[in-house]
C-alpha cells in the first residue's frame, strides 16, 4: 500500500520527488528521450534557494544543457576549511526496467525508480540533514558546500569541472554504501578496440581479411594471458585487478567477409598499479594484432588517509572504513589533492537494477547520520 506523501519524512519526500525527475545519462543507450541533468539540477537549485536563506547557488554547464548544481552555505567567518557533499544527479539507462523508472512508487516501505539508490536516495538524505541543521550551518568548523554533479556515470564531467576550480578539506561523494566510508576503491579503464579487415564475397574468404578473426585473437589473449597477469596486481583491501569483455560486434552481412570488428573491455585497476602498466597492456594487445585501434576512458582508483580528522569523526559515529570494487567521483577530487570518500544510505546491490529501490528506513537513517556528523562540527564557545 502506498504511503501518503504528507506522512513521509523529508528525506523520503525528497527522494521520491527526485526520482520523478528524469535525469538519465544520455551516453550509450539511455532507453529514453528524457535525458540530461538540467531539470533535476534546476529543481534542486530552486529548493535550496527557498529553504536556505543566504545560500549561494549556481548551475554552471559542464556540457551543453548538462549543468552541475553547486551551493555554498553562509559562513560566519572567512577562510574556514570546506566540506563538500557531492552526490551525482545523473542515472544509468532505463533499458530493461520492470517498474516505472520515474514513478517513485512506494511499496513495502521502499521507494522504487531509477536513481532511488544511485544516487538520489543518498542525495535526499544529505539534503534533509543539511535542512535539519540549517540554523547552525554558518557556525560550524567548516564552510559547507553541496554539489549535485552531472555525468558521473560516464566521464565524470561534473566532478572534473568542480575539482578544477575549488578545493575542499573533505569531499563526501554520495553513493549507497550502507553508511560506511569508502576510503579506497578500484579505478577503471574502459577500452574500445577496433580491428580492420578487407571485405570480399564470403565464397572466396581467402581474398579478403577477416576483422572478426583478428578480434578473436585479441579476446583469446585477454582470457589466456591478461586475466592471470592482472591477478598479479593486488591490494590488501580491494583484491586484484580484473578484466571483462563487455561487447562485440562486427561485419555487415553473413556472406561478406567483415572489414571491421569492435569490442569493449572493462578493466579494473587498483591503487599503485604502476606508471608502466598501460604501456605494457597496449603492447600485449598489439602483440597479436599490431594494427588494433585502442581508445581508453579512465577513472582513477581512490586511496584516502583514514587518519583525516573528519574521517575519524565519521568512524566515531559508526562509519566503518571500507573498500569498494567500483569507482566514483571521489577519486576525481582526490586527484586534485582533496581528501575524499564515498558514502551514503542504501546498498550498491540495488543500483542499476531492473527494479531499483531504496528503503525509507535507510533514507531516514542516512539523514539522521549526516545530521549527527554536522552537529559534531559545531564550534564550542
Both 221 and 260 in one domain: the answer is yes
Both 10 and 48 in one domain: the answer is yes
Mean of all residue pLDDT scores within the chain: 96
Residue 381: pLDDT band with limits 50, 70, 90 = low
**pTM of whole model > 0.75?**
yes
Both 220 and 164 in one domain: the answer is no
Both 221 and 153 in one domain: the answer is no
Both 56 and 146 in one domain: the answer is yes
Residue 380 is assigned to a structural domain of this protein:
no
Both 345 and 242 in one domain: the answer is no
- Cα 106 to Cα 255: distance, rounded to the nearest angstrom: 52
Both 163 and 28 in one domain: the answer is yes
Question: 305 is written with which cell numbers?
Answer: 588517509
Residue 353 is assigned to a structural domain of this protein:
yes
SS3 content of the chain, % helix, strand, coil (to 5): 30, 25, 40
- Cα 336 to Cα 50: distance, rounded to the nearest angstrom: 32
Both 108 and 118 in one domain: the answer is yes
- Cα 130 to Cα 126: distance, rounded to the nearest angstrom: 6
CATH number at residue 55: 3.40.630.10
* Mean pLDDT to the nearest integer, 289-294: 98
Q: Are 55 and 71 in contact (CB under 8 A)?
A: yes
Last residue in a domain, options 278, 299, 320? 299
Residue 133 is assigned to a structural domain of this protein:
yes
Residue 244 is assigned to a structural domain of this protein:
yes
Residue 381 is assigned to a structural domain of this protein:
no
**Backbone Cα Rg of the chain:** 23
Last residue in a domain, options 276, 299, 322? 299
Of 361, 378, 376, 312, give the one whose Cα is nearest residue 121: 361
- Cα 117 to Cα 351: distance, rounded to the nearest angstrom: 6
* Mean pLDDT to the nearest integer, 11-17: 98
Of 357, 359, 355, give the one whose Cα is nearest residue 94: 355
Residue 319 is assigned to a structural domain of this protein:
yes
* Mean pLDDT to the nearest integer, 79-99: 98
Of 360, 353, 367, give the one whose Cα is nearest residue 118: 353
Coil, strand or helix at 361 = helix
CATH number at residue 291: 3.30.70.360
Both 232 and 137 in one domain: the answer is no
Both 154 and 229 in one domain: the answer is no
- Cα 327 to Cα 233: distance, rounded to the nearest angstrom: 17
Q: Are 100 and 355 in contact (CB under 8 A)?
A: no
Which domain, by its residues, includes 225? 187-299
Of 346, 350, 352, give the one whose Cα is nearest residue 95: 352
Residue 194 is assigned to a structural domain of this protein:
yes
Q: What is the pLDDT of residue 3?
A: 47
Q: What is the pLDDT of residue 244?
A: 97
Last residue in a domain, options 299, 318, 350? 299
Q: Which long-range contacts (CB under 8 A, 24 or more apart) does 229-234 make?
A: 229/284, 230/267, 233/269, 233/270, 233/273, 233/274, 233/277, 234/270
Residue 275: pLDDT band with limits 50, 70, 90 = confident
Our count of domains for the chain comes to: 2
Q: Are 71 and 57 in contact (CB under 8 A)?
A: yes
Coil, strand or helix at 283 = helix
Per-residue pLDDT tens digits for 22-43: 999 999 899 999 999 999 999 9
Residue 341 is assigned to a structural domain of this protein:
yes
- Cα 125 to Cα 175: distance, rounded to the nearest angstrom: 11
Q: What is the DSSP string of 218-266?
A: HHHHIIIIIHHHHTTSEETTTEE-EEEEEEEEE-S-TTB--SEEEEEEE
Coil, strand or helix at 302 = strand
Both 158 and 247 in one domain: the answer is no
Residue 210: pLDDT band with limits 50, 70, 90 = very high
Both 316 and 284 in one domain: the answer is no
Amino acid at each position: 500500500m502506498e504511503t501518503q506523501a504528507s506522512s513521509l519524512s523529508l528525506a523520503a519526500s525528497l527522494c521520491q520527488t527526485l526520482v520523478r525527475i528524469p535525469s538519465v545519462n544520455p551516453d550509450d543507450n539511455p532507453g529514453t528521450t528524457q535525458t540530461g541533468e538540467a531539470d533535476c539540477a534546476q529543481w534542486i537549485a530552486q529548493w535550496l534557494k527557498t529553504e536556505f536563506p543566504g545560500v549561494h547557488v549556481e548551475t554552471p554547464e559542464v556540457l551543453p544543457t548538462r549543468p552541475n548544481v553547486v551551493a555554498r552555505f553562509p559562513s560566519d567567518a572567512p577562510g574556514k576549511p570546506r566540506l563538500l557533499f557531492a552526490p551525482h544527479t545523473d542515472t544509468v539507462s532505463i533499458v530493461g526496467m520492470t517498474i516505472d523508472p520515474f514513478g517513485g512508487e512506494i511499496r513495502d516501505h521502499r521507494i522504487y525508480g531509477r536513481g532511488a539508490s544511485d544516487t538520489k536516495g543518498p542525495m535526499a538524505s544529505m539534503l534533509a540533514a543539511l535542512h535539519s541543521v540549517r540554523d547552525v550551518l554558518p557556525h560550524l568548523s567548516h564552510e559547507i558546500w553541496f554539489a549535485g554533479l552531472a555525468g558521473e556515470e560516464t566521464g565524470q564531467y561534473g566532478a572534473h569541472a568542480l575539482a578544477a576550480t575549488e578545493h575542499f578539506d573533505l569531499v563526501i561523494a554520495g553513493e549507497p554504501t550502507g553508511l560506511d566510508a569508502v576510503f579506497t576503491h578500484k579505478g577503471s579503464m574502459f577500452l574500445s578496440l577496433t580491428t580492420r579487415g578487407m571485405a570480399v564475397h564470403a565464397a572466396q574468404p581467402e581474398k579478403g581479411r577477416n576483422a572478426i578473426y583478428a578480434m578473436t585473437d585479441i579476446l583469446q589473449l585477454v582470457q589466456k594471458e591478461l586475466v592471470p597477469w592482472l591477478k598479479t596486481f593486488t591490494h590488501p583491501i580491494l583484491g586484484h585487478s580484473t578484466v571483462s569483455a563487455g561487447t562485440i560486434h562486427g561485419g555487415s552481412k553473413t556472406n561478406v567477409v567483415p572489414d571491421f570488428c569492435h569490442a569493449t573491455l572493462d578493466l579494473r585497476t587498483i591503487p599503485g598499479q604502476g606508471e608502466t602498466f598501460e604501456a605494457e597492456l597496449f603492447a600485449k594487445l598489439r602483440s597479436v594484432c599490431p594494427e588494433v585501434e585502442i581508445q581508453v576512458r579512465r577513472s582513477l582508483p581512490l586511496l584516502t588517509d583514514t587518519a583525516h580528522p573528519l574521517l575519524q569523526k565519521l568512524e566515531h559515529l559508526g562509519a566503518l572504513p571500507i573498500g569498494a570494487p567500483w569507482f566514483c567521483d571521489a577519486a576525481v577530487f582526490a586527484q586534485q589533492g582533496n581528501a575524499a570518500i564515498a558514502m551514503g544510505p542504501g546498498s550498491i546491490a540495488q543500483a542499476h537494477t531492473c527494479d531499483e529501490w531504496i528503503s525509507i528506513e535507510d533514507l531516514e537513517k542516512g539523514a539522521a547520520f549526516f545530521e549527527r556528523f554536522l552537529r559534531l562540527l559545531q564550534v564550542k564557545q
